[in-house]
Amino acid sequence: MTLDVVALRREIHAHPETAFREVRTTARVAEVLTGLGLEPRTGSGVLERDGIVDYPDDATLDGDAERAVATGADATWVEAVRRDGAALVVDVTGSRPGPTWALRFDTDALPIVESEEAGHVPAREGFRSTFARGMHACGHDGHVAIGLGLAERLRDDPDFAGTVRFLFQPAEEGGRGARAMLAGGALEGVDRFVALHLGLDLPLGHVVGGAVGAFATTKLRARFTGVASHAAAAPQDGRNALAAAAAGTLAVLAQPRWSTTDTRVNVGTLRAGDGVNIIPAWAELTAETRALDAAVQDEMTARVTAALQGAAASYGCEVTVTPTGGSTTMESDEAVADALRGHAADLGLTAETFGPMGGSDDASLFLAEVQRHGGSGSYVMVGADNPAPHHNPAFDVDERALAHGLDLLERLVRAG
């Protein structure tokens, strides 16, 4: 074994890239895998870009590519990823026939400014984010490192049955990447699916073999269109899109609780208007709904959409509400979860029997698709003593968890 997964994690951590802009990260993954003699693939069969809402524009991606090369990524792989999109698949084949596994490793970071506090390990140890407004505040940097480490181990010793397909997935945050890879065909022929997540408020050494209770979720973007007008000279000629979005926000937040299942609702961002003395002609907000019951989730999405449409009409504006991403509930298969618990115990880890996620992950779409075709799978949670909540500027993982995840997945695959 030559790869240093901790060092890899730190390098990825220092260069965080947000949804569909994981150019450097994916190019580095490709470079490392190629160095292992493997044959990573991008483009056709891996990612379908049609249907992605708010895919970054060319200028942004060109800048990302430039930055990737400037920070040490391989220029040829950067060009490929820039062209094909930041998703990558690689297969490692075992020495015996057997099932096709798919393991998901998500690669994206968040638009958060990372903590500079001395108590924050990445700051103290010198691998804090070097990119503006980006941070690996959800542990995906660790996932990438585990994926690379596992690929090396399986290549070094192919004593396992079947094939393991590694899915390096962009845009998990916002729930856009999995569906684009599904649309691209990345999951074809897969019999077993596992995704692993570090942290999730579990103590180091604790493992949940099969998470349940992931929220189905839909992310929405609402664009309000009004009419601009000088706020002193002719306010009556305006139609106030900012006011419509404000009213829409309050209507979304007023959605009722459900007595039959747990739900969530949020308006996360709002941008509106160009100048203090102009009746605002535009506004754009993003909202999300979640439920532990997929049918309720659909109903909530319909109601939130109606809430935004009504608010627009109320202020004489138009609105277009567009789903931008989402995921479904997570139903880990008990057999796979049991196997994982056994491996955890063998490794001296503590296996939790009940694992409510409390969040969403679009790995649920992969899992549901595999299950729909008769396959099985699970969502594994690996404790990492995270000192601050996910999505917080001070989030971090105890790097000893990387080995836990790596060992666990290796045993699962080798056990068949």
Interface with a second copy in residues 288-307 (CB under 8 A): 288, 290, 296, 303, 306-307
* Options 162-170, 356-364, 373-381, 400-408: segment touching a second copy (CB under 8 A): 356-364
Give the footprint of a second copy on residues 370-409 (CB under 8 A): 389-392
Nearer to a second copy by C-beta: 162 or 393? Answer: 393
Helix (H, G, I), strand (E, B) or coil at 326: strand
Shortest distance, position 197 Cβ to a second copy, whole Å:
13
Distance CA 11, CA 108 (A): 14
Instruction: Give residues with Cβ within 8 angstroms of 9, minimum separation 6.
Output: 141, 142, 144, 145, 399, 402
- Tell how strand 192-198 and strand 376-382 pair up: parallel
Q: Decide if residue 157 touches a second copy (CB under 8 A).
A: no
Q: Decide if residue 278 touches a second copy (CB under 8 A).
A: yes
Q: Decide if residue 327 touches a second copy (CB under 8 A).
A: no
Tokens 């105890």 found at: 398
Nearer to a second copy by C-beta: 190 or 242? Answer: 242
* Options 22-30, 143-151, 153-161, 274-282: segment touching a second copy (CB under 8 A): 274-282
Q: Decide if residue 360 touches a second copy (CB under 8 A).
A: yes
Is residue 178 within 8 Å of residue 330, measured between CB atoms?
no
Cβ neighbours, 10 Å, residue 51: 10
- Tell how strand 350-352 and strand 206-208 pair up: parallel
Nearer to a second copy by C-beta: 133 or 400? Answer: 133
Beta bridge partners of 356: 212
In angstroms, how far is CA 123 from the centroid of its own chain?
24
Nearer to a second copy by C-beta: 34 or 266? Answer: 266
Nearer to a second copy by C-beta: 205 or 280? Answer: 280
Q: Decide if residue 53 touches a second copy (CB under 8 A).
A: no
Give the footprint of a second copy on residues 219-248 (CB under 8 A): 219, 228-236, 238, 240, 242-243, 245-248
Shortest distance, position 248 Cβ to a second copy, whole Å:
7
Distance CA 106, CA 110 (A): 12
Shortest distance, position 297 Cβ to a second copy, whole Å:
12
Nearer to a second copy by C-beta: 391 or 400? Answer: 391
Residue type, 315: Y
Q: For the residues of 252-319, what is the DSSP string, one character each? A: HHTPPP-SSS-EEEEEEEEEE-S-TTEE--EEEEEEEEEESSHHHHHHHHHHHHHHHHHHHHHTT-EE
Q: For residue 322, what is the enclosing H or E element?
A: strand 318-327
Distance CA 416, CA 413 (A): 5
Is residue 51 within 8 Å of residue 180, measured between CB atoms?
yes
Q: Decide if residue 56 touches a second copy (CB under 8 A).
A: no
Among 98, 358, 387, 416, binds a second copy (CB under 8 A): 358
Q: Decide if residue 16 touches a second copy (CB under 8 A).
A: no
Nearer to a second copy by C-beta: 303 or 414? Answer: 303
Distance CA 179, CA 51 (A): 9
Q: Decide if residue 174 touches a second copy (CB under 8 A).
A: yes
What is the per-residue binding string for a second copy in 110-149, x denoting contact by CB under 8 A? xxx-------------------------------------
Distance CA 106, CA 34 (A): 19
* Options 116-124, 188-196, 256-264, 402-410: segment touching a second copy (CB under 8 A): 256-264
Nearer to a second copy by C-beta: 64 or 173? Answer: 173
Number of residues that bind a second copy (CB under 8 A): 80
Among 83, 96, 124, 271, binds a second copy (CB under 8 A): 271
Q: Decide if residue 279 touches a second copy (CB under 8 A).
A: yes
